A and B are shown apart, each in its own frame.
Chain A
Amino acid sequence: MKEDRYQLNKQLAQMLKGGVIMDVTTPEQAEIAEQAGACAVMALERIPADIRAAGGVSRMSDPKMIRGIQEAVSIPVMAKCRIGHFAEAQILEAIEIDYIDESEVLSPADDVYHIDKTRFQVPFVCGARDLGEALRRIAEGASMIRTKGEPGTGDIVQAVRHMRAMNGEIRRVQNLRQDELFEAAKQLQVPADLLKLVWEKGRLPVVNFAAGGVATPADAALMMQLGAEGVFVGSGIFKSGNPAKRAAAIVQAVANYQDARLLAELSADLGEAMVGINEEEIALLMAERGK
């Protein structure tokens, strides 16, 4: 991948900042999401909560279904491929997807290697639980990072843990002397040049969103106040009682995440939230996939 293309791909993520990216499974849902103010949609056959319930192997979505969603909306369309499944990624690139999510939500195709994302023209977003995972994905060519959280649960605890871990580690790195960075890079198992960028700027070299377990406007505001630059909402919207209203409320909550009075209004009368599963009740920890 040419350096120019990588820059352009990181810059598309900059345009998504302050926005909400919503999981959708049909063109109709995509239109609801766009009208509710989504800044992009993630096209997938089953939302994470249903993937969790169905069990079995979960794969890239049917390209025909993704095309249907591309035709239905004008905002960017993302789609997921399995960790390490570069052939699925090639197919998504062939249908001109705007962003590929190499995602732990699907069943991993490779338990050692992630995709060499530098060989693609289209951008990739990857999940991470801490600074080490984030910088390893960026070294492989990811142009956007999101917390892994725990998808399909409606439980925010893991996204909070991952965002705090990442930002806490960034603050610790900033306090190092320059000559201590090499040892820190060794311990984090990341390239020293990327760690130096973090040390200089006090942030990841790419945009960082929250994902995995966001179900309410308050969840979204919490993640933004913890330093997320935007939010992915998967099952939280279309597993709730009133998807259009909840989606719009979460969009507004992200735009005004520091205004508690407005958040109170936004949180009122949204109908039933997704039921969710507690961390302790989860049989499968998706965040453990792909380190």
Chain B
Amino acid sequence: MNIGILALQGAFVEHGEALEKLGIQHFEIRQQRDLNRPCDGLILPGGESTVMGKLLRELGLFAPLRERIAAGLPVFGTCAGLLLLAKNIDGGGPCLATMDIRAKRNAYGRQLGSFYAEKDFGDLGRVPMTFIRAPYILEVGLGVEVLAEVEGKIVAARQKNQLVTAFHPELGEDLAVHRYFVSMAKGIRLSAGGSAQ
């Protein structure tokens, strides 16, 4: 298993460190040529979604990544990554727009609104959550499973091959959400009968 991490801006190194602790191979995606490597899953990290969205287009990564996600490549978006995947965004235009969710950016306000929480995540039990100028999900479409809520707001969801969290599992010590993504990617690979490309 080899996971590609979008490394245009933001906290991509931290995702790599989390995968290493799980013994999962990973590589950075900065340019088109990086897409030639075998890739069983994709992580879109936290950072600024406007920066990543712009660089995705300028570097010619937008169309190929969108195609692969639509074709079933397992993808995990955290914070800005969630915004990249959302079909609709309050307070900005969509980017890859592959996931049936409507998200609100900077939903908790400025940095003074950043916070920690510990809530249930799917059937994983309680998971520590770090919210940094975070978005949340206002609405989900058909076939989208809500995985976590904080004070009535949706902060994690899954639609088939796409997993998103408004918080940053890569910033803490807890590996539960990364483990969840890895098993999700493995499951999709098995059901697809080979390496999902």
- Residues of A with Cβ closer than 8 Å to B? 4, 8-9, 11-12, 14-19, 34-40, 70, 74-76, 96-99, 121-123, 248, 251-252, 254-256, 259, 262
CB pair A8 B114 closer than 8 Å: yes
B106 (CB) vs chain A CBs: closest residue: A74
> With a CB–CB cut-off of 8 A, which chain A residues contact B59?
252, 255-256
What CA separation (Å) do A76 and B132 show in the bound complex?
Answer: 11
Pick from B13, B50, B55, B114: contact of A12, CB below 8 A: B114
Whether A18 contacts B115 in the complex (CB less than 8 A), given A11-B130, A75-B48, comes out as no
- Using CB atoms, name the residue of chain B closest to A19: B9
Of chain B, the residue at the smallest CB distance from A75 is B48
User: B117-159 toward A: CB 8 Å interface, digit per residue (1/0)?
Assistant: 0000000000000101100000000000000000000000000
| B-side interface mostly | loop
Q: How far does the alpha carbon of A252 sit from the alpha carbon of B133 in the complex, in Å?
A: 24
Those of B8-53 within 8 Å (CB) of chain A: 8-14, 30-31, 46-48, 50-51
Cross-chain contact A96 with B110 (CB below 8 angstroms): yes
Knowing A11-B168, A17-B9, A18-B12, the reply to whether A39 touches B48 (Cβ < 8 A) is yes
Tell me if B112 and A15 are in contact (CB < 8 A). no
- A11-B171, A18-B10 known; A37 vs B50 contact (CB < 8 Å): yes
Residues of A near B48 (CB, < 8 A) are: 15-16, 19, 39-40, 75-76
Q: A17-B11, A37-B55, A255-B30 are in contact. Are A74 and B92 (CB under 8 A)?
A: yes
CB nearest neighbor in B for A255 = B8
CA distance A97 to B9 in the complex (A): 22
Q: Which one of A14, A121, A251, A256 contacts B51 once the chains associate, using CB atoms below 8 Å?
A: A251
* Contact, CB under 8 Å: A39 / B51: yes
A–B pairs, 26, beta carbons within 8 Å: A4-B116, A8-B116, A8-B132, A11-B168, A12-B111, A15-B48, A15-B79, A16-B48, A18-B8, A19-B10, A37-B55, A39-B48, A40-B48, A74-B91, A74-B92, A74-B106, A76-B110, A96-B109, A98-B111, A122-B112, A123-B111, A248-B58, A252-B58, A254-B9, A256-B30, A256-B59
Residues of A close to B110: CB separation below 8 A = 70, 76, 96-98
Chain A proximity of B15: nearest CB distance (Å):
11
Which residue of chain A is the closest to B114 with respect to CB atoms? Answer: A8
Q: B106: which A residues are within 8 A, CB to CB?
A: 74
**CB-nearest residue of chain B to A96:** B110
Interface residue from B7, B8, B11 paired with A15 (Cβ < 8 Å): B11
Q: From B105, which residue of chain A is reached at the shortest CB distance? A: A74
Q: Bound complex: CA of A262 vs CA of B34, how far in Å?
A: 14
Other CB < 8 Å A-B pairs besides A12-B114, A248-B58, A255-B55, 20 of them? A11-B130, A11-B132, A12-B133, A14-B14, A17-B11, A18-B9, A18-B47, A19-B10, A19-B48, A37-B55, A39-B51, A70-B110, A74-B106, A75-B48, A96-B111, A98-B110, A122-B112, A255-B30, A255-B59, A256-B30
Contacts of B179 in A (CB 8 A): none
Cα distance A97–B11 in the bound complex, in angstroms: 22
Q: If the complex has contacts A18-B7, A74-B105, are A37 and B51 also in contact, measured as CB distance less than 8 A?
A: yes
Nearest 4 A/B pairs, CB to CB: A18-B9, A98-B111, A39-B48, A8-B114
Residues of B contacting A256 in the complex (Cβ-Cβ under 8 angstroms): 30-31, 59
| Contact (Cβ within 8 A) B132 A12 | yes
Q: Which residues of chain B come closer than 8 Å to A14, judged between CB atoms?
A: 11, 14, 46, 171
- For the complex, what is the distance from the CA of A131 to the CA of B104, rounded to whole Å? 40
Residue of A nearest to B131 (CB): A8
Given contacts A15-B47, A17-B10, A19-B47, contact A252 B114 (CB under 8 A): no
